[in-house]
Structure 1
Amino acid sequence: MAITSTTMAPDTCPAEHDWFTLLLSIGLILGLLFSYGPQHYRIINKGSSEGFSPWFLLLGSTSSASGMLNMITMQWGVLRCCAFWSFGTCLEQTLGVIQVSMQWALFAIILVLYMVYYPQHLRHASTDVDVPRPDGQTERVHVKTLIRSDTWRLSVILSWVVFIHIVLEILITLFLLLTSHRAAQIELWATFLGVSSALLAGIQYAPQLTHTYKAKTVGALSIPMMLIQSPGAAVMVLSIALRPGTNWTSWITFAVSGIMQAILLGMCLVWKARQRRLDIDDFGEPVKRGPEIRVDDYSDGGLEGGEARRAAVSEETPLLAER
């Protein structure tokens, strides 16, 4: 029932009820929401998307889009059968398409947040200029220009590439599914989508791994998201493989992504430990701590023991009420 060009009829649409696959798909959909949630929140809460590679987001968005359209193409027969099923049965049979589509949408939101929360101080190029001083000398000053920085310009271009890519693939997919009467052509397109999705996923993490390795900080990357998604990729592969009408081109993308994401997770955990050791935050800035109160500083004034401690409290914390 996967790829078909024949006229659909009720007798050609038997509903396959599988409680294990159903529960697995529901669990995955909830898992996707819970796993991507921390990443979305982290970018919004920090007010910065610094730490992401624009190439990583480009490859991830195009890979997940191709994977989604592969699933839609492979299960086109199932989608057409919804005309003869109840809403509940249709929902159950198309959960595979829903979970893959949600995977694409949630990742695409990261790209949108990346563009919205891209740091303002990194959007424009800077240069050094010599400014005259009153004494006749010149002083070199670091100033921002109106010219876009290379990384921000690249991010804008890649965002347009992602948009054009998804529009073209949707148009081609709909054209073949709605007009073609040869299943071989549709299957060839589905294979192209699946293989290209896997290849893009394979190289997707290379720029992010390189970027994170050079930065030696976690940045805006969410470790909780990767902790959930890395093992969850295996469950995703199983869920898609159990769906009717799918083949290896439908699940290979998630297998490759899971392996690469596990490597990125390991690197982030190493850098997180390094940050604690160097007392810096996820963006490489020194961690701000309050002033330490040392009792020894009062020993030179002849105060000892409890008197020294009371003196420290009264001098450093004058707003505290005495008891």
Structure 2
Amino acid sequence: MPSYEAPLVELKRIEKSYAPRTATRSRKVRAVRGVSLSIRRGETLGLVGESGCGKSTVGRIAARLLEPSGGTLHYQGTDITNVRGKTLRRLRQHIQYVFQDPYASLNPRFTIGRLLEEPLKYNRIGNRRERQREVVEMLERIGLDAAYKDRYPHELSGGQRQRVGIVRALMLNPEFVVLDEPVSALDVSVQAQILNLLKSLQDERSLTYLFISHDLNVVHYISDRVAVMYLGSIVEIADVHDLYERPSHPYTQALVSSIPAERGAGKRESVILSGDLPDPAALIGGCPFRTRCRHAFDRCAAEMPDWSEVAEGHAVRCHLWNEEQAGTDVRQTEIFASAGGTGL
């Protein structure tokens, strides 16, 4: 897959498989299938796809909360796939994770002040007075006054809890933060507040984000680049504006066509996917999207597509963009290219 500059975080051919949980399954389930991603310093890379496609698994591997079954994870050019002990503990200060459900990730028996102070205390940063001062400053930064440090998570609203979850991840001043569906459970007005907070914190602290979501409008608002994931594989990656204006993979086209058109905008072609997600354990080879693709042909079942560049910085993994196939089946390529002309 093309790479354009030295990344802060890089996933190289990451695999993650799980053993069968029932007697009726004999084959391992491949949740992540050879995912390669480069996340540049200071950018927000959006990762989108349907529920169950492996987005959160990729995010947890990127944050070293899960170990991959194969492939390597690099941070600042260093392989950190197998680091342990004190090295991993130091690494945690630079890489943090914001969970989807803030209520489930906050200890209900701890006050907000203790929850925020705990990372500093665990890493032996400052004395008690300095840590408490830092807690108050961070609360005020996210729009909560100092009195909130004595409250418990159940006393906060969903938006307030999410703010606490975000600021807890930032207490150690990390460089890289994985945000796993951080606004999916919030009202639209609260979503906007959280997204604006994330943007301002990124500018202030030079943060790098991996933003995981199934909401394309949210991803469009906050991301610099977007990677589209389907059934454990990345199928397209591009600059956010290029991807939304010129979706080039059939799955991306279906996702983009589902976004309601703005008033006054031209009518967008609706792409309806047929069938349901296939059983991941049943997929052995070929393109994972072939069972639902309206353009699928024999080659799609025989081999996994290579990456092809649609434009600079815009790559797609589809046989219909492969130059060799374009030369042997011009008709299908023309059909595919015309289907991509759905602007926002």
TM-based fold match above 0.5:
no
Normalising by structure 2, what TM-score? 0.25
Which entry has the higher C-alpha Rg, 1 or 2? Answer: 1
Greater strand content: 2
- RCO higher in structure (CA 8 A, sep ≥6): 1
What TM-score do you get using the length of structure 1 for normalisation?
0.26
